[in-house]
């Protein structure tokens, strides 16, 4: 496949019907009878609200040949929604989703995680796991993912190649971990120098495959402070600056981990301070978790412009704690959502949004008068799209339906139940499989709530990245390109 | 349809393969190469562990004609599991799943719940809603449900008829609520007397339809203390004793509700005490929620032998609190799971089990050294089956695969992902739709964890109640009988 095939949608397209996206953190915007024009590079050339009747004229204005333009229509009850953005996900842990027992972070790493990750140096196994992961997350409507791979260069490069081939926008990070105090002998970089050099190799590979990082970009990935020597963190910081790359790591997930960091870095005043002293807090940094940040830590994170990936499902599953999104916002920190599989048991960003809503309620319940912590449907869907876009530094390209942005989108559909009058009460729409049942009287806000709380990959009918169709599903005809 | 068709599986059947059920609260039992013989009444005649090779002989011993016995085999990776038991669910609220906004209990009732419930006096609407609800919950593997209907007699009777016809074991309760201080004018019983009389009418209807309550049973249902006058509760208690029926209500869900009860019943020492003084705490009583019970309340609940339906999903969604299952167990109280839709956003008991695991972690996180509160995969699946059976008083009939119990069961299957070597990496098993991907190396404990945390109705291939097939799904061929 040539780069142009990968990078361009090839045909000009017009999308017609209902579009829903975030107008602000607090509010979704519903655009009905709307036409969105996407050019041959997958870029939105024009958004015409209430413009579905004037397509012919607009095509003329754009100078596009009507005969060669593909048309896609959302039918009754369907809507176009921005592709979901997973700001923290371990592709290498996909086989372990749901498998965490009663562990918490540190024993979970040792018992379940390091053995699996290490085994992916077998490239056949890596291909099987990564293919399944990308296919699955595309089916969930994840158009952009910030991936942790493993320490292995070849397997990491393979993940980048698969994302490029399957059309998923991705940040692919080789996991750097060289500290023998925490990392097992069978799974760690040989030295701080090696940590940097091996990462450089994956950067070179991805640069060659996608020179402008149109679809796939490298991301510098020190696993987390306890697994990295100070020297390695300095090297990785230098690498980040040299190539002007995004960087991702974990912070303040679990109390045991925080105590460990304090003991390992006695000169630092806090966990966040460890990263700050190593130059790892930058506007391009994605910090996963940030559950137990102190005020002072949040202030330094905000001052450096670093972002937070909120991983609600993982934090509940591993008994890590409950991060406070509204508090982070109040500190001036931008937040996106991470599935953090397999700390989180689901690879779906929609599930991550659902869990973010629930966890915000647990935060509320933990504080007298804490109701202000609760997140609404609109707010968690913002986190899953525009919040995520800011988090990964692509807010100019993805996350919403504005002119000039790329067409990273999905078509959502939910069936309407029958009248119940027939022999078995099934209606016409029910030949379509769906976990969500609409009754037809729901307003749009209610439909969005039903999708958020009950929806799954069955409702994600089609998925596009940069104008290219990368997944489609009609009835039982699932297909991932 | 004649009662015998409804009540009997008609054919003798043998089920072969892997069976998983609860040996104890703490432990699932895995029975491989096992044969389970189900007689023409849907009762398990014999369980032969490692007995899949000697079916012919066993049939001879049983005196069953081999030619007329239906055989069902769980193929590689599949297993039979007991049907799930929903001990608290509002059938009438099915259209509202996911719709709760930022409300808590009392404003949620007023804003979303009462208007919908009241509208089901339109029997066409009720038929549509109840058909969809029963079909959906059967698809989720719910073989027994303790339903709240509405105040309307005809609609409540219709729900009972539909359960009987569609073959779902059910307790169907007409909702009693006569207190004008809480209940709106448009939706309440006219008097305490009416509360009892209307309930009696539904009891008579169900007695006629299913005289031995083999599939459907009435259940006395005072909504909750604030919605009932003292007089109505006394009447309903008398009705419960007269007919020796189960009884269901809500207790101690939300702090505002508890304060309301204290103000409405100043002579009672606690919420539980209100019920106790009205004779509503019995061994046949199912109390939903019990989130904020005091020690003294739990002691009286335990002393009366009343049971608790734990509604984790609802309690998180409505910001009610986090019930402590292990604490209830420690008090000697039996616990089952309730979806409590639409307080809970899902009609799936598997989701209720998942949420019970998560909520137990939030309980753990709320207490210094609270790790003991965490529930395991085995424990939440116990709650969903044997715990639920005890809760609804059917522990001799359902919840596991013991001889003499009824065949209320489901066949679970999860696909195995392909090698990833093909053009798009799809393997053979992937024509089957599933949210869970197995890689083939998982042991049985890991498979159960993946099912619990990632499974949905797509994994529930077939469902039986009392030997009768009531739902089946093969690939895209969904069917509910």
pLDDT at A423: 43
Residue A374 pLDDT grade (very low, low, confident, very high; cuts 50, 70, 90): very high
Contact A319, A104 (CB under 8 A): yes
In this prediction, residue B407 carries a pLDDT of 98
Mutate: best of A128, A320, A363, partner B, most B CBs <10 A: A128
* CB–CB contact A345 B128 (8 Å): no
* DSSP state letters, A83-132: PEEEEEEEGGGGGGTT--TT--HHHHIIIIIHHHHHHTTSHHHHHHHHHH
**pLDDT given for residue A465 in this prediction:** 98
List, as ranges, residues 80-99 from B with C-beta within 8 Å of A: 94-95, 97-99
pLDDT at B433: 85
What's the whole-number mean pLDDT along residues B153-173?
Answer: 98
Contact with chain A for residue B291, Cβ under 8 A: no
Q: pLDDT tens digit string along B283-319?
A: 999 999 999 999 999 999 999 999 999 999 999 999 9
Indicate the residue of B100, B454, B481 with minimum beta-carbon distance to A98. Answer: B454
CA atoms of A143 and A156, how far apart (whole Å): 19
Higher pLDDT, A434 or B163: B163
Q: What share of chain A is helix, strand, coil (3-state, %, to 5)?
A: 40, 20, 35
Contact status, residue B297 vs residue B277, Cβ threshold 8 Å: no
Q: What is the DSSP string of B187-252?
A: SS-SSHHHHHHHHHHHHHHHHHHSTT-SSEEE-BEE--GGGS-HHHHHHHHHHHHHHT--EEEEES
B170 Cβ neighbours under 8 A, 6+ residues apart: B144, B145, B146, B147, B159, B160, B163, B215, B216, B217
Q: Mind listing the pLDDT tens digit for each residue in A245-267?
A: 999 999 999 999 999 999 999 99
For chain B, say whether A419 makes contact (Cβ under 8 Å).
Answer: yes
Using the 8-state DSSP alphabet, how is residue B95 labeled?
Answer: G
Calpha distance B40→B69 (Å, rounded): 10
> For the segment A436-465, what is each residue's pLDDT rounded down to a tens digit?
999 999 999 999 999 999 999 999 999 999
A316 to chain B, any CB pair closer than 8 A? The answer is yes
A-proximal residues of B, 339-368, CB under 8 Å: 345-346, 354, 358, 361-362, 364-366
B353 has a pLDDT exceeding 60 = yes
Q: What percent of chain B has pLDDT over 90?
A: 91
Q: Considering only CB atoms, which chain B residues are within 8 Å of A481?
A: 424
pLDDT confidence band for A478 (50 / 70 / 90): very low
C-alpha distances (whole Å) from B45 to each of A342, B61, B175, B406, B465 are: 42, 11, 38, 9, 15
Minimum distance, in Å, between the CA of residue B222 and any CA atom of chain A:
28
pLDDT, mean of residues B367-382: 96
Distance from CA of A405 to the nearest CA of B (A): 28
Distance from CA of A90 to the nearest CA of B (A): 16
- Taking the Cβ of residue A230 and every Cβ of chain B, the question of whether any pair is shorter than 8 Å is answered with no
pLDDT-derived band at B77, boundaries 50, 70, 90: confident
Give which of B102, B115, B351, B440 to mutate to test A binding, by max A Cβ within 10 Å: B102
Residue B8, pLDDT score: 52
B321 touches A: beta carbon within 8 Å: yes
Burial A144-163 (b: 16+ CB within 10 A, else e): bbbbbbbbbbebbbbbbbbb
Kindly state whether A380 is in contact with chain B, defined as any CB-CB distance less than 8 angstroms.
no
Q: What is the pLDDT of residues B187-200, one digit of tens each?
A: 999 999 999 999 99
Mutate which of B131, B167, B421, B455 to test chain A, going by most A C-beta atoms within 10 A? B131
pLDDT in tens, A342-362: 999 999 999 999 999 999 999
Question: pTM (2 decimals)?
Answer: 0.96
Cβ-Cβ contacts under 8 Å between A and B: the total is 173
Residue of A94, A101, A102 to mutate when probing chain B, most B C-beta within 10 A = A102
A481 reaches B (C-beta below 8 A): yes
Q: Which of B132, B319, B366 lies closest to A420 in CB terms?
A: B132
Q: Which of B132, B439, B458 sits opposite A437 (nearest CB)?
A: B132
The two tokens of residue A139 are 């089916």
Q: Where do the domains of chain B lie, and which CATH numbers do they carry?
A: 3-82+401-472 (2.30.40.10), 84-391 (3.20.20.140)
Mean pLDDT across chain B = 94
- Please indicate whether, in this complex, the C-beta atoms of B475 and A475 are within 8 angstroms of each other: no
Tens digit of pLDDT for each residue in B36-76?
999 999 999 999 998 889 999 999 999 999 999 999 999 98
Q: pLDDT tens-digit profile of A74-86?
A: 998 899 999 999 9
Among the residue ranges A16-30, A104-118, B1-15, B433-447, the one predicted with the least confidence is B1-15
Strands B468-474 and B477-480 come out as antiparallel
Angle among Cα B430, B431, B435 to the nearest 5 degrees reads 55
ipTM: 0.95
Q: Using the beta-carbon criterion (under 8 Å), do B319 and A417 form an inter-chain contact?
A: no
Residue B216's pLDDT is 98
Range in B92-96, B465-469, B475-479 with the lowest mean pLDDT: B475-479
- The closest CB to that of A475, out of B102, B362, B476, belongs to B476
Q: With contacts defined as CB-CB under 8 Å, which chain A residues touch B340?
A: none
């Amino acid at each position: 496949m040539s780069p142009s095939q990968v990078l361009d949608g090839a045909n000009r397209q017009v999308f017609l019907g209902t579009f829903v996206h975030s107008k602000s953190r607090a509010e979704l915007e519903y655009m009905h009878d709307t036409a969105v024009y996407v050019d041959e590079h997958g870029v939105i050339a024009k958004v015409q609200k209430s413009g579905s009747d004037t397509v012919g004229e607009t095509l003329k204005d754009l100078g596009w040949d009507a005969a060669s333009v593909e048309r896609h229509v959302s039918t009754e009850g369907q809507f176009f929604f921005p592709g979901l953005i997973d700001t923290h996900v371990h592709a290498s842990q996909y086989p372990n989703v749901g498998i965490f027992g009663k562990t918490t972070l540190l024993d979970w790493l040792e018992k379940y995680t390091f053995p699996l990750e290490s085994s992916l140096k077998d490239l056949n196994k890596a291909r099987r796991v990564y293919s399944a992961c990308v296919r699955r997350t595309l089916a969930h409507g994840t158009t952009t993912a910030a991936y942790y791979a493993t320490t292995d260069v070849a397997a990491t490069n393979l993940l980048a190649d698969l994302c490029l081939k399957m059309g998923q926008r991705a940040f692919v990070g080789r996991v750097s971990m060289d500290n023998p105090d925490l990392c097992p002998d069978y799974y760690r970089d040989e030295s701080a120098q090696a940590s940097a050099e091996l990462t450089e190799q994956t950067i070179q590979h991805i640069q060659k495959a996608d020179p402008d990082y149109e679809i796939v970009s490298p991301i510098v990935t020190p696993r987390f402070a306890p697994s990295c020597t100070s020297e390695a963190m300095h090297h990785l910081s230098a690498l980040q600056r040299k190539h002007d790359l995004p960087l991702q790591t974990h912070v303040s997930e679990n109390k045991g981990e925080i105590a460990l960091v304090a003991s390992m870095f006695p000169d630092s005043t806090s966990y966040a301070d460890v990263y700050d002293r190593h130059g790892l807090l930058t506007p391009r940094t994605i910090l996963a978790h940030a559950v137990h940040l102190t005020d002072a830590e949040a202030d330094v994170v905000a001052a450096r412009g670093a972002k937070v990936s909120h991983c609600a499902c993982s934090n509940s599953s591993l008994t890590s704690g409950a991060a406070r999104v509204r508090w982070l916002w109040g500190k001036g920190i931008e937040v996106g959502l991470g599935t953090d599989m397999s700390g989180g048991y689901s690879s779906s960003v929609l599930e991550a949004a659902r869990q973010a809503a629930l966890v915000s309620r647990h935060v509320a319940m933990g504080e007298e008068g804490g109701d202000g912590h609760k997140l609404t449907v609109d707010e968690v869907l913002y986190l899953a799209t525009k919040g995520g876009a800011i988090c990964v530094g692509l807010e100019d390209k993805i996350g919403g339906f504005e002119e000039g942005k790329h067409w990273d989108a999905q078509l959502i559909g939910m069936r309407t139940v029958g009248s119940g009058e027939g022999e078995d009460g099934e209606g016409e729409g029910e030949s379509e499989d769906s976990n969500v049942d609409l009754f037809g009287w729901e307003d749009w806000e209610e439909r969005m709530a039903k999708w958020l709380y009950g929806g799954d990959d069955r409702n994600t009918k089609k998925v596009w990245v940069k104008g290219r169709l990368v997944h489609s599903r009609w009835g039982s005809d699932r297909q991932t390109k």
